[in-house]
Amino acid sequence: MPRKRTNMNKIYDVLRLKFEAGLSNRNIARCLGIGTSTVTDLLTSFNRSDLAWPLPDDLTQSQLENTLYPGRQSNKRKRAPDFVDMHQELKRKGMTKLLLWEEYRETAPETAYGYTQFCEHYQRWLKKQKRSMRQHHIAGDKLFIDYCGPTVPIVNPDTGEVRDAQIFVATLGASNYTYVEACHSQQSQDWLMAHVHAFEFFGGVPKLLVPDNLKAAVTKTHRYQPTINENYARMARHYHTAIMPARPYKPKDKSKAENAVLIVERWILMRLRHQVFHTLAGLNVAIKALLNDLNHRQQKMHPGSRHHLYEKLDKPALMPLPLHTYEYVDTRRARVGPDYHVLYDKHAYSVPHQLVGEQLQIDATQRLVRIYHKGEIVAQHPKSAKQGGFTTVPEHMPQAHVKQRWSQSRLLNWGQNIGCGVHAVIQCQFQRREHPQQAIKSCLGILSLSKHYGDARLEAACQKALLLERPYYTVISNLLKHHKEQPSDHPQQDNDTPINHPNVRGHHYYQ
């Protein structure tokens, strides 16, 4: 059995005390606190070697150790497996270490390790392949962002409905100063506004944002060139910062965020587990109080609290906040339909009809909807919450469509300009129909008669139709066509002469 190896510093002390001080083996053992047999064995191995005291200056500790402890000679005859090839083979589906060991042993059984040692040496080799670079965080440089895994239920007191609030966590790299906020969801608007609140909490903006690969941050994940969400990129441009998402399935890229999430779960969420919250605002009030305690608590690994380090390191190095707070803008793309409208949030907004078939960019805030074509704004509308509705600007319509766009007030004004009789006829058309749209064609037909017969004749025909109590298009058109819109110049006179006819009975018949 191999002897237990002595610390190299004590080996030097044994040789020095023996050859320079001239002490006995027993006294050397007492001075160094080791066994007498250990000293004897060590000096015996030294005397058998080719070494002499004082030791050569170029002799390394490894050379001295190998000389005094040659180890098992049998292990030198063992053949080491090809661990690199073994590691690649184990990636195959169905491959096992036992099968690889059997193939390894078939080549030369006498120099092969046993199965247990085969696996042990592979595990030692595998551990040496892992590398973890310690990250150096510069003050004000990076902000690590993530969501906690656990959620907090919010109970509606009226209906009993339960909604799970998402917990947003952001921590600065140098000081570990942390911001926590409860959000309704992980959707784009909640994600971006949580960033805005975090910047206001920190009192400045870091140079780089390091988020996870959720959809609100990364549209398409990639190890080297991820596609950043347009809304997220717009927010970053507003604050003059940059975005560098962590690599997919690489939690070490955002170890600060992972540690912060773990601390928040332990020191904030666990303390709230017995409380029932009915509103998101109430939950955030409770989180704010515990967050203040977390940031002012003394750290174990670093001197001072997170707030102390933040005031000393991160706060002076953060970029200043812009003059105007970021307003959430929802950016989408839509193709213009044949009706020269684009659809946003189930409501249609008009654009110039020349853009039919083009793909446009829609930027929607809480109040306005702006539509861009190749970076230039082509339409702007007030935001409407009416689903299935239309917002149309007449200037966006083709001329032929404008002519077909009539309203009740416009037709009444047209009739009033011709005369009161025409105005009354148009008003009658709308009154006798169940829906105003049903009367538009009749009104246009009556008003268009002025192009052929003139306004004066049309006014006269309408007045006569009103007297006849028949204010219809057909009646007015026939009056104009047969020139009967004017009153007769020779009205019929009543004839008072009695009729003399044998079949007519006189007054004497009833006497």
Q: Give the pLDDT confidence of 102-130 residue by residue, as tens digits.
A: 999 998 888 889 999 999 998 888 888 76
pLDDT of residue 393: 85
Average pLDDT over residues 35-40: 88
pLDDT by residue (tens digit) across 460-482?
A: 999 999 998 889 999 999 999 98
Q: Please name every residue paired with 162 in a beta bridge, in sequence order, or none if there are none.
A: 155
pLDDT by residue (tens digit) across 129-185?
A: 765 555 566 888 889 998 998 899 999 888 888 999 999 999 998 888 999 999 999
SS3 label, residue 377:
strand
Instruction: Supply the DSSP symbol for 50.
Output: S
pLDDT of residue 505: 67
Instruction: Confirm if 475 and 447 have CB atoms less than 8 A apart.
Output: no
Distance CA 443, CA 173 (A): 73
Q: Across the chain, which distance is largest between two alpha carbons, in Å? A: 183
Average pLDDT, the chain: 84
Instruction: Confirm if 458 and 449 have CB atoms less than 8 A apart.
Output: yes
Instruction: Confirm if 14 and 37 have CB atoms less than 8 A apart.
Output: no
Query: What are the two backbone dihedrals, phi and then psi, of residue 418, each rounded to the nearest 5 degrees?
Result: -80, -45
Of 3-12, 188-197, 219-228, 302-311, the least confident: 3-12
- List, in order, residues 6 or more apart from 271 with CB less than 8 Å away: 290
Q: Residue ranges of the alpha helices (H) in 208-350?
A: 230-238, 255-264, 280-296, 306-309, 315-317
pLDDT of residue 291: 92
Which residue shows structure tokens 């007297």? 467
**pLDDT exceeds 70 at position 490:** no
Q: What percentage of the chain has pLDDT greater than the value 90?
A: 29
pLDDT of residue 136: 61
- List, in order, residues 6 or more apart from 474 with CB less than 8 Å away: none
pLDDT-based confidence at 74, cuts 50/70/90? Answer: very low
pLDDT of residue 50: 80
pLDDT of residue 502: 66
Distance CA 202, CA 365 (A): 25
**pLDDT exceeds 50 at position 73:** no
pLDDT by residue (tens digit) across 226-259?
A: 888 888 898 999 999 999 887 665 555 556 667 8
**pLDDT exceeds 80 at position 510:** no
pLDDT of residue 2: 45
Distance CA 219, CA 213 (A): 8
pLDDT-based confidence at 359, cuts 50/70/90? Answer: very high
Give the domain ranges of the chain.
8-71, 76-122, 142-317, 330-402, 406-481
pLDDT of residue 397: 80
Its pTM surpasses 0.75:
no
What's the fold here for domain 142-317? Nucleotidyltransferase; domain 5 (3.30.420)
- Name the strand (E) or helix (H) holding 214: none
373, 381, 376, 473: which is closest to 432 by C-alpha?
473
